[in-house]
Amino acid sequence: MPLSDPIGPIELSPGRPPLLRADAGGDPDAWAARQRAALRAAVAEHGCLLVRGLGLDGPGAAGAVFRRLSDALMPEREPFAPRRSYADGVYSSTKWPPNQQMCMHHEMSYALEFPGLMLFACLEAPASGGATGTADAAAVLDALPAALTKRFEQEGWQLVRTYHEDIGASVAEAFGTDDRATVERYCRAHAIDAEWRSDGSLHTRQHRSALLHHPVDGRRLWFNQIAFLSEWTMEPEVREYLIDVYGPDGLPFTTRFGNGDPIGEDVVATINEVYAAHTAREPWRSGDLLLVDNLRTAHSREPFDGPREILAALGDPARLADCAPTAGVGIG
């Protein structure tokens, strides 16, 4: 049944994100200003909200609404793939092959500070596919095998990266500079073990919690990018090529158990199967706005055909230390 609140009925349907049909009267920023508290309350209640009918038609309009609805926008740090920047805190969606699935993840879950709120605006909907799926992190945690989540709860996970100049995000794109001393200072300040290799590449390792608690309601959540940034999520021919060129220890990214043990293909498949079973999706329409509580709700991007232009912003910075992580955030 639709749920009534000050912003109107929110449509709740199995397999679809909560949907609000809005009438912005041609001024989405003014509408967002009036409805800010109600929209944020809806996201707090449901974990995400798709707003349809705003008529967002360009980076300026989208950026104004992003800034209106968030407490603050933050820059992306340590990206795994490049984005285009339209304005401070307003980005394109991550560059990822359109014919490949971008698996479920929580934005920047490998960082010590990450967005509490993700904001997306659809300027041009694709001809087919391309939905931004969502999945409830508490439900995913409950559905995963107990023995697996217990191990991750106790050990955490590791993200292992190698920054090459010719694939993925470069050192300069990830850290905002290629000055080695500056990069090393950043890594020390953010609990990242960093090593420069003889070929000029940077190899990093960071140990993070795989589970945390929501800072508002204390809800226990599956919060990580264990599956998304795994070598087993790559297309098989891509993985084989990268191993052939860079070696198994030189992949642009992969993940490990907290003690450094490899994570098998079966584990990654299990995680992605649970995500798939809990995915809600709704095809984009041009002008749509999607708000996602980045802690409570994972998001994905499905393959698509035709042009697709989605803008993104990282809002409401949250600190891992304030989320009662279940495993240490240091190295080792």
pLDDT of residue 239: 94
Burial status of residue 115 (CB atoms within 10 A of its CB: 0-12, 13-18, 19 or more): buried
The CATH number that applies at residue 151 is: 3.60.130.10
Q: Which residues pair with 130 in a beta bridge?
A: none
Q: Which two tokens stand for residue 172?
A: 């300069």
Query: Residue 113 falls within a domain, yes or no?
Result: yes
Q: Print pLDDT tens along the chain (332 aa).
A: 344 346 789 999 999 999 999 988 889 999 999 999 999 999 999 999 999 999 999 999 999 999 999 999 999 989 887 788 998 899 988 888 898 899 999 999 999 999 999 999 999 999 999 999 999 999 999 999 999 999 999 999 999 999 998 888 889 999 999 999 999 999 999 999 999 999 999 999 999 999 999 999 999 999 999 999 999 999 999 999 999 999 999 999 999 999 999 999 999 999 999 999 999 999 999 999 999 999 999 999 999 999 999 999 999 999 999 999 998 665 44
Q: Which domain holds residue 48?
A: 10-138+280-323
Same-domain check for residues 268 and 147: yes
* 51 in a structural domain: yes
Q: What are the tokens at 159? A: 């993200």
DSSP sequence for 4-31: --TT-PEE--TTS--EEE---TT-HHHH
How close are the terminal C-alpha atoms of the chain, in Å? 49
169: left (phi over 0), alpha (psi -120 to 50) or beta: beta
* Residue 238 within a domain: yes
Separation between Cα atoms, residue 56 and residue 121, nearest integer Å: 7
Amino acid in the structure at residue 184: E
Look up residue 43 and give its amino acid: V
Same domain for 47 and 123? Answer: yes
Residue where the block lists tokens 């891992």: 320
Same domain for 35 and 147? no
The predicted model scores a pTM of 0.94
Do both 57 and 113 map to the same domain? yes
Decide: 84 and 317 in contact? Cβ < 8 Å.
Answer: no
- Answer left, alpha or beta for residue 83, where phi above 0 means left and psi between -120 and 50 means alpha: beta
Looking at the domain assignment, is residue 330 inside a domain? no
Total length of the chain: 332
Domain match, 179 and 237 both: yes
In terms of domains, do 309 and 222 share one?
no
For residues 315 and 134, the answer to whether their CB atoms sit within 8 Å is no
Q: At what angle do helices 28-46 and 59-69 cross, to 10 degrees?
A: 50
pLDDT at 82: 77
Q: How far is CA 164 from the centre of its chain?
A: 22
Q: How far apart are CA 238 and CA 244, in angstroms?
A: 10
Residue from 229, 207, 193 nearest 325 by CA: 207
Q: Any idea of the CA torsion for 46, 233, 227, 108, to the nearest 10 degrees?
A: -70
Angstrom distance (rounded) from CA 82 to CA 36: 30
Tokens of 297: 């709700």
Name the residue among 297, 299, 233 with its Cα closest to residue 271: 233
Q: Which helix (H) or strand (E) holds 300?
A: strand 297-301
Nearest CA among 15, 18, 12 for reference residue 279: 15
- CA 239 from chain centre, in angstroms, equals 22
Based on the fold, state whether residues 148 and 267 are members of the same structural domain: yes
Count of the separate structural domains present in the chain: 2
